[in-house]
Amino acid sequence: MDFEKLTLVMRRLALEAGDKIMEIYNGPDFEVKSKSDDSPVTAADEAADALISAGLRAEFPDVALVTEEQSDSHDQSVSTFLIVDPLDGTKEFVHRRGDFTVNIAYVVDGSPVRGVVYAPAKDRLFFTDAGGNAVEEVAPFDKNTIGTLNPIRVSKPDNDGLYIVASKSHRDQATDDYLAKYNAKDMKSAGSSLKFCLVATGEADLYPRVGRTMEWDTAAGHAVLAGAGGDVIRFDDHQPLRYGKDGFANPFFIAYAPGVDLKEA
């Protein structure tokens, strides 16, 4: 894989998809449909998916592609592939809360090695550079030219006062019970894959997810966090979270900055 080209293409497609999403977000009321699993989908999900999928297939025709909105792509058995969530945080989008992202990642042998996470309503753009290092680009963004980049790095956690981030739309008692095991200095909620990015930038130390997610929800954020020195492990056995699983469903997981005194489930 030409990682220089991959970085430019993923970044450009994420920005183009963000424009499509914001046209609908800032427009009149839009229809919200339900998929077979009862999760919401909008015209923004579908338009962004079509744009990103076409762009990736044109540029990387020989690489397998998995996207949330194309169910026929979910039947593959792959370990190296591109994976897309065109609009992560559809509930945040529907309620116009702004915490939604465009996620594009490249997985090699089960590990997400490159990714881009773009939050168009918040003007925040995170991605891995050609060398796999995590950066945040300073707005405004030009689709064809990378602007000012700030390298990002996880924090050095203080286990006597951790900064913890949890899901905004999927918070439950199991999550609260687990979080109670830690000494928290600050607890915040965020939607979509932004939670991984908050750990990557040092704005949070720990993000546990005790609930259902799919690989397209997490791969891009996982890649950004890994590029910033962080890690993502399974909740049950603390082994690395892997990709290309049957059906692309994730187990519960913990994203964190090294140095956090991880608690057992």
Could you tell me the domains of the chain? 3-151 (3.30.540.10), 162-256 (3.40.190.80)
Answer whether residue 21 shows pLDDT above 80: yes
Answer whether residue 41 shows pLDDT above 70: no
pLDDT of residue 144: 93
Q: What average pLDDT does this structure show over 223-243? A: 97
Binding residue per annotation — 90?
yes
The 3-state DSSP class for residue 88 equals strand
Answer whether residue 40 shows pLDDT above 80: no
d(CA 265, CA 210): 10
Binding residue per annotation — 89?
yes
Q: What average pLDDT does this structure show over 129-141? A: 98
pLDDT of residue 90: 79
Could you write out the DSSP letters of every residue in 190-243?
Answer: E-TTHHHHHHHTTS-SEEEE-S--BHHHHHHHHHHHHHTT-EEEETTT-PBP-S
Nearest 5°: CA angle at 59, between 56 and 63? 65
Binding residue per annotation — 202?
no
Binding residue per annotation — 68?
yes
pLDDT of residue 49: 95
Alpha-carbon radius of gyration of the chain? 17
CA atoms within 13 A on the CB side of 90: 23
87-115 b/e with 16+ CB inside 10 Å = b? bbbbbbbbeeebbbbbbbbbbeeebbbbb
CA atoms within 13 A on the CB side of 68: 31
d(CA 185, CA 55): 43
DSSP 142: B
Binding residue per annotation — 244?
no
The fraction of the chain above a pLDDT of 70, given in percent, is 94
Q: What average pLDDT does this structure show over 54-75? A: 90
Binding residue per annotation — 241?
no
pTM of the model: 0.94
Q: What average pLDDT does this structure show over 157-184? A: 88
pLDDT tens profile 84-104: 999 998 788 788 888 899 999
